Amino acid sequence: MNPNPAGGDDRSFLAVDAARAAILGALAPIAGRERVAVRAALGRVLAEDVIAPCNVPAHDNSAMDGYAVRAADLTSAGESALAVVGTAFAGRPFSGMVGAGQAVRIMTGATIPQGADTIVVQEVARREHERVFIPAGQKKGQNLRHAGEDLAEGGVAIPAGKRCGPAELGLIASLGIAEVCVRRRLRVAVMSTGDEIASIGRPLGPGEVYDSNRYTLHGVLTRLGCELLDLGVVPDRPEALEEAFREASQAADVIITSGGVSVGEADFIREMMNRMGEVAFWKLAIKPGRPMAFGRIGDAVLFGLPGNPVAVMVTFYQFVQDALLQLMGVAPLPAPERFPVRAAFSMRKQPGRVEYLRGRLQRGGDGLAVAPAGAQGSGVLSSMSEADCFVVLPADCSAVQEGDTVLVQPFHGIV
Ligand code: AMP
Ligand code: MG
């Protein structure tokens, strides 16, 4: 793998798209797979196509409550009178034949009786004892659900690479399938680095901060369905780091660290990553989240995220999440969701870096607009909690004027 599209010069700035492409280009899905029961497939990625063993629905059936009739019996002028010869219920078909001049009372989901080709909804039919009067204007074949209309026997009902949500669980069950083949869960080791980082459960010493990154990472990784290996807070000490990296690279598919990758700061973390594996240190052209490491230690893929809590979340969502989905076997990867809205704010911006503001969407009289949510410092995690989207300002942007159109990336499904 070539983790360094900047050409080996780790001082040049790397564009967002180049970094994403380098990461995604270097990673292939994990090989392991297992069979799981339908309910346990929620959030899992199908390792094989699900082939329909039968048609869904299995039979032509009625989409409405009404009467099953023969279109040829209906006149185009005025009412047609038909003899009602029986009833078809869902699960209890009418076993006879609908002959000329006849109709069968039919319920939603009931199999279409032989001879009938059209369903007339009960609201327009006029019933008198054993006869029913059908007004003009019916269309042949109306209100029928055809066998195989949802899923056709022998066809691919759900393709490999699909991550199963509620609809997929229902679809699998609708085919009568009890188990599916999914990729094994991705194992991800997480560690925070820094002498100043304290774990919760004890008072803070002078200059210390509580570790929040491992908790936000726990949240996003759990939502993605990863198996977590929590290596805790690792102090800025070479032996401790080496031990943690060794353990992580043996047990996990992916290692995610936070802190210690910026230039000047704790250089031995970079040195350690380099010595133990093949790692590139990028200066990304983004704000927040400039430094990031990417590469391998042993067989494990390494993402060395910056330390600032907002930068961790921004770099995770812009680079790591899709990489993990790709490793999990998700294909095709969903395109990042972006849409244009009106800016309800003005600001100046340094050109050169893509900026991810934390924003809040507002619905007003003149449509959707967006404003920054809270203070925008890269350590201000409350801005992520208050926000419901990123406002993505491109590298060449130098200012936003109120009323301009800006792109937002909504949080739903990510945060
Ligand atoms: P670093 O990238 O190690 O220089 O860290 C940048 C900033 O993020 C520093 O202010 C750190 O104290 C802070 N930081 C690093 N790791 C964490 C963490 N796990 N939780 C909260 N803050 C952190
Ligand atoms: Mg640090």
Ligand nearest to the CA of 215: 1
Q: Is the CB of 312 under 6 A from ligand 1?
A: no
Q: Which pLDDT score, from 0 to 100, does residue 283 have? A: 93
* 19 touches 321 (CB < 8 A): no
Task: Express each pLDDT in 389-405 by its tens digit.
Answer: 999 999 999 999 999 99
Write out residues in the chain with pLDDT < 70, as ranges. 1-11, 264-267, 413-415
pTM of the full structure? 0.89
304 lines ligand 1 (CB under 6 A): no
| Ligand minimally distant from the alpha carbon of residue 209 | 1
Same domain, 273 and 166: no
Residues paired with residue 227 on neighbouring β-strands, in sequence order: 187
For ligand 1, pick from 208, 210, 213, 234 the residue to mutate: most ligand atoms within 8 Å of CB: 213
| Residue 260 Cβ contacting ligand 1 at under 6 Å | yes
Specify if 152 maps to a domain.
no
Q: Is residue 9 part of a domain?
A: no
Question: If you measure from the C-alpha of residue 124 to the centroid of ligand 1, how many angstroms do you get, rounded to a whole number?
Answer: 70
Task: Record the tokens describing residue 384, joined without a space.
Answer: 């992520």
Ligand 2 centroid–CA 1 distance in Å is 28
- Both 191 and 308 in a single domain? yes
Residues 357 and 382 in one domain: yes
Residue among 256, 272, 308 to mutate when testing ligand 1 (max atoms within 8 A of CB)? 308
Question: Ligand 1: does its nearest atom lie under 6 Å from the Cβ of 191?
Answer: no
Is 226 part of a structural domain of the chain? yes
For every residue of 142-197, DSSP letters joined together read: TTEE-TTSSB-TTSEEE-TTPBP-HHHHHHHHHTT--EEEEEPPPEEEEEEE-TTE
Is 192's C-beta closer than 6 angstroms to any atom of ligand 1? yes
CATH label of the domain that carries residue 40: 3.90.105.10
Ligand nearest to the CA of 261: 1
Take residue 256 and report the two structure tokens written for it: 């995610």
What's the gap in Å between 409 CA and the centre of ligand 2? 29
User: Measured from the CB, is residue 216 less than 6 Å from ligand 1?
Assistant: no
d(CA 74, ligand 2 centre) in Å: 81
Confidence at residue 3, expressed as pLDDT on a 0 to 100 scale: 58
User: Same domain, yes or no, for 373 and 400?
Assistant: yes
Whether residue 123 is found in the same domain as residue 218 = no
The CATH number given to whatever domain includes residue 349 is 2.40.340.10
The pLDDT assigned to 412 comes to 79
Which of 305, 328, 351 is the last residue before a domain boundary?
A: 328
Task: Give the residue, by CA position, lying nearest to ligand 1 atom 18.
Answer: 211
H or E element that contains 12? none
Atom of ligand 1 nearest to the CA of 212: 20
Give me ligand 2 centre to Cα 209, in Å. Answer: 11
> Are 316 and 207 members of one domain?
yes
213 close to ligand 1 (CB < 6 Angstrom) = yes
Number of domains in the chain: 4
Q: Whose CA is nearest to atom 6 of ligand 1?
A: 307
For the Cβ of 257 lying below 6 angstroms from any atom of ligand 1, the answer is no
Query: Do both 21 and 46 map to the same domain?
Result: no
pLDDT given at position 364: 84
Q: What share of the chain is helix, strand, coil (3-state, %, to 5)?
A: 20, 35, 45
What are the distances in angstroms from CA 296 to CA 76, 99, 119?
Answer: 74, 73, 63
Q: What is the CATH number of the domain that holds 91?
A: 2.170.190.11
153 falls within a domain: no
Residues 231 and 310 in one domain: yes
Task: For residue 87, tell me if it sits in a domain.
Answer: yes
Same domain, 88 and 28: no
354-364 and 347-348 strand pairing: unpaired
Q: How far is the CA of 210 from the centre of ligand 1 (A)?
A: 9
| Of 63, 62, 69, nearest in space to 83 by CA | 69
One domain for residues 251 and 359: no
Residue 200 domain-assigned? Answer: yes
Q: Which of 197, 231, 290 to mutate to test the pocket of ligand 1 (most atoms within 8 A of CB)?
A: 197
Domain boundary among 328, 354, 388: 328
**CB-ligand 1 contact for 265 (6 Å cutoff):** yes
359 class by beta-carbon count within 10 Å (0-12 exposed, 13-18 middle, 19+ buried): buried
Identify any residues that bridge with 277 across adjacent strands, giving them in sequence order: 297
255 and 236: one domain? yes
**Full domain range(s) for residue 80:** 61-145
Closest-CA residue, ligand 1 atom 3, reads 259
CB 315 near ligand 1, within 6 Å: no
Question: Do residues 255 and 116 share a domain?
Answer: no
